[in-house]
Structure 1
């Protein structure tokens, strides 16, 4: 059977048009935002009654250029025998700009509220420069230094302000596709009284449960060199276990 020429022409034109459309289809743009939210609750009931609650979040804006914005937060609450033992909230907003493969600049804003250290609020905007000692796909290690200010309010006192110096060291190590270790040490010193420093150390490990969920275990140590009262402890350590949901 002979196929009419006009049908052959239409079919050929359709195939060519489909090929052109597919060739011109724009590539899927990379996802800009990613992050996670997590929470955990633990309690004991026996010789001593304890309850601990934690809530955390992290968001990252990375358009795959030189500029990355990160926002993290953590809330801790706990009690023992009906008496509260910890009530702390922290958050950090950080904007990092890459200058070279290893050198970067940053600006960040830190916030801390800790009722048991009698810190009603502590705000510290900082700007500085950092260097990546190790910069691999599986392991990164960086150090940074910055200058800025710090404002702190304590019960019964007015808000005090000072210049500030900040130093930090961070390590992120991907053990495998499903497990990772993170570690960080930061220090904040007031220029008006350098001995009035605040140190924060974290060490954590995370393991994936599914593609979008993971279990996180972390030790968080905060040390205030000059507490507002002699009766206050300088050092507080929190052990955090949380279930984390990732998004992107």
Structure 2
């Protein structure tokens, strides 16, 4: 019996050998990929190691599982830190936007100056988003103002869920060519993000509005209105972007006022194509149309403007 026990011992060792360790060079290659911080490189090296060392797949899988768990923890910590930074941000923090400006001056047969400027600002929080827009177009020829158009708009948004949001809108317009020295609009309602991807965004919104118009002849009207809006952005490539923004306002004029004074429907739509010049600078070609169905006497209902500008993002 003692001989059998002695013989059984080496047989047991042969039947259950110790697990082989991953070669030092292979482990060093994986560690170097992890240290690089490039997740795609780590995944590629792990796949290569599995193919080259199939007997060590269990150890390689354990390394990969531990790496993924560590990355999830880091991502969660970064996300929590970002949320906390947004919550602690001051009123003037976390704003981004773009600005554009153009001007010209001529003398001789005609004495003319012109100025075009625009500023778009945006601030995104956890649930809230704030949008500010300012535009100005001014032109004076031979002592006569031929264009004087200004717009200021503030739009806060509250994200109810992934797609649905509530919005408010306060807007001031001045366009003496269209016959009004001031037009004030207040609106609010609901909107929905129909498309929201890294390269394409499409949102629609609608709600009631109240609008006061001060005409250049000194008269003034105030009407209940309905507002419909659309925003569309498409990043065609790394350097080319297509934009479409439209806002339509249809005035009801109230029950009797609509019949007596008639209704006025206005539409502003801007289509743009942007091409990147540098990381912060873009060239934009845009076409804008403004429509008022019932303009004052002496004014036409439709205005169009084609513009080429340089845009600086920040």
TM category (shorter chain) comes to: 0.7 to 0.9
Deviating beyond 6 angstroms after TM superposition, the runs of 4 or more aligned structure 1 residues are: 23-26, 43-50
Q: Which residues of structure 2 form unaligned runs of 5+?
A: 1-73, 87-92
Q: Which residue of 1 aligns with 2:122?
A: 60
Q: Distance in 1 between matches of 2:225 and 2:211?
A: 6
Instruction: Work out whether residues 88 and 114 of structure 1, in 8 Å CA contact, stay in contact via their aligned partners in 2.
Output: yes
Q: Tell me the SS of whatever aligns to 1:157.
A: coil
The answer on 1:237 being equivalent to 2:304 is yes
Aligned-residue RMSD, C-alpha: 2.7
CA drift of 1:71 comes to 0.2
Q: Which residues of structure 1 form unaligned runs of 5+?
A: 1-22
Q: Which residue of 2 aligns with 1:223?
A: 291
Q: Distance in 2 between matches of 1:56 and 1:95?
A: 19
Q: Distance in 1 between matches of 2:309 and 2:230?
A: 24
16, 25, 32: which one pairs with 2:94?
32
CA drift of 1:228 comes to 1.4
Compare the two structures and name the one with the higher helix fraction: 2
155, 159, 170: which one pairs with 2:231?
170
Superposed, 1:105-120 pairs within 5 Å as 105-120=166-181
Q: Distance in 2 between matches of 1:138 and 1:75?
A: 30
Q: Distance in 1 between matches of 2:305 and 2:198?
A: 30
Radius of gyration: which is bigger? 2
Q: Distance in 1 between matches of 2:144 and 2:249?
A: 30
1:188-232 CA distance string (max 9 Å, x none): 122213731111010012222222222222111111111111x21
CA drift of 1:137 comes to 1.5
CA drift of 1:41 comes to 3.1
Q: Which residue of 1 aligns with 2:249?
A: 188
Q: Distance in 1 between matches of 2:180 and 2:287?
A: 21
Q: Which residue of 1 aligns with 2:8?
A: none
Q: Which residue of 2 aligns with 1:126?
A: 187
Q: Distance in 1 between matches of 2:141 and 2:217?
A: 27
The more displaced of 201-210 and 30-39 is 30-39
How high is the TM-score relative to the length of structure 1? Answer: 0.79
Q: Tell me the SS of whatever aligns to 1:156.
A: coil
The answer on 1:94 being equivalent to 2:155 is yes
The answer on 1:158 being equivalent to 2:226 is no
Q: Tell me the SS of whatever aligns to 2:209.
A: strand
Flag the 1:132–1:46 CA change in 2: closer, same or farther, 3 A: farther
Equivalenced residue count is: 223
Q: Distance in 2 between matches of 1:50 and 1:156?
A: 26
Instruction: Work out whether residues 101 and 117 of structure 2, in 8 Å CA contact, stay in contact via their aligned partners in 1.
Output: yes
Q: Which residue of 2 aligns with 1:74?
A: 135
Q: Distance in 2 between matches of 1:133 and 1:46?
A: 53
1:118-161 CA distance string (max 9 Å, x none): 21100101000112222211111121111121111012333321
Flag the 1:79–1:221 CA change in 2: closer, same or farther, 3 A: farther
Say which structure, 1 or 2, has more relative contact order (CA 8 Å, 6+ apart): 1
How high is the TM-score relative to the length of structure 2? Answer: 0.64
